[in-house]
Amino acid sequence: MTVAVLRLAGVTKTFRAPRGGGDVVALSGVDLDVREGEFLTVVGPSGCGKSTMLSLVAGFAQPTAGEVLFQGQPVLEPGPERGVMFQDYALFPWRTVMGNIEFGPYALGVGKAERRGRARELIQLVGLEGFEDRYPHELSGGMRQRCALARMLANNPTMWLMDEPLAAVDLQTRIILQDELLRLWGDGGSAKRSTVLFVTHGIDEAVLLADRVVVMARRPGRIKAIVDVNLPRPRAAQRSSPALAELVGRVWDLIRDEAVRAIAEETN
């Protein structure tokens, strides 16, 4: 139960400032253990390095110092066992819904009949039947998200890395997709759940979904606190529970000052 499937040890990431000046420290000395099957959400004001953390775990970039270990091995490059869902979905515009979803199995050398069957299952699971042959630009925002979710799931990743995946849709769609995401993850208590690292700027969403909420601070990006969410699952039934509201208030207290400062800086 307490096996850390993902471990960040002293992870620091600096970027060279584009035009002279000093380096920008995006993350500084981040230590984090993520347990197998855990739903971990990450919140923090903009510029706290939460997306940077996700891209280090995905293997898109390497830490400047420290280590990212996945199943005990250092992460050196992206891999299909760590599925990614991007904020802007990053669907391939020249591939249809079907083509996008079967790309992962195709890249891994799965035969055509098998990957088609798998893609069809996923299309049904995310409710995109009838849209198999549409191109991404012909889909609504919510449908693109479902497509991106199905594409991520097609490789059966043991870890889901999700970078603000529900940020760009309206509130009703977001609530529906939150419920669907929880259902797909196994919120009802399924045997084997994937491990989720879910970056969001929605505090309600972070608390609703998570087993633990990682609260980050900025300048430099670091972990400020980790809040346990000991609410019963399935969580869909907890949306209006007072305990949830109280936790949301606690997380908000942790980031309010910094968020206010971040907004003030951005508007300057």
Partner 1 sequence: MSSALRRVATAAQPMIGIAALIAAWQAASVIAANPTLAPPLGAIARQIAAMASTDLLNDVVASLVHLLLGYGCGAILGLVLALLAARSEWFAAILDPYVEFLRPISAIAWIPIAILLFGVGRGVPVFLIFYASLFPILVSTLDGVRSVDRGLINAGRALGASRRLVVTNIILPAALPSILSGARLSLGVAWVAMVAGELVGADAGLGWRIMWYQEFFSMDGVMATIVVIGAVGWLLDALLRALQRRLLAWSPTTGARG
Which residues on adjacent β-strands are paired with residue 12? 65
Q: Which stretch binds partner 1 (CB under 8 A): 9-17, 91-99, 220-228, 232-240?
A: 91-99
Q: Is the CB of 112 or the CB of 261 nearer to partner 1?
A: 112
Residue 141-170 contact track with partner 1, rule CB under 8 A, x = bound: ----------x--xx-----x---------
Q: Which of 23, 31, 67, 88 binds partner 1 (CB under 8 A)?
A: 88
Measured from the CB of residue 173, what is the shortest distance to partner 1 in angstroms?
Answer: 21
Q: Where are the beta strands (DSSP E) in 16-49?
A: 24-35, 39-43
Our finding on whether 104 is near partner 1 (CB under 8 A) is yes
Binding segment for partner 1 among 46-54, 99-107, 123-131, 203-211 (CB under 8 A)?
Answer: 99-107
The residue to which tokens 């995946």 are assigned? 165
Cβ atoms of 58 and 78 within 8 Å: the answer is: yes
79 belongs to the binding site for partner 1 (CB under 8 A)? yes
Please say whether the beta carbons of 57 and 6 come within 8 A: yes
- Total binding residues for partner 1 by CB under 8 A? 30
Question: Of these, 130, 137, 171, 240, which contacts partner 1 (CB under 8 A)?
Answer: 137
Rounded Cα gap, residues 5 and 68, in angstroms: 11
How far apart (Å, rounded) are the C-alpha atoms in residues 155 and 158?
9
Q: Does 83 bind partner 1 (CB under 8 A)?
A: yes
Based on the number of CB atoms within 10 Å of its own CB, is 3 exposed (0-12), middle (13-18) or buried (19 or more)? exposed
φ, ψ of residue 246 to 5 degrees: the values are -65, -40
Residue 76 contacts partner 1 per CB under 8 A? no
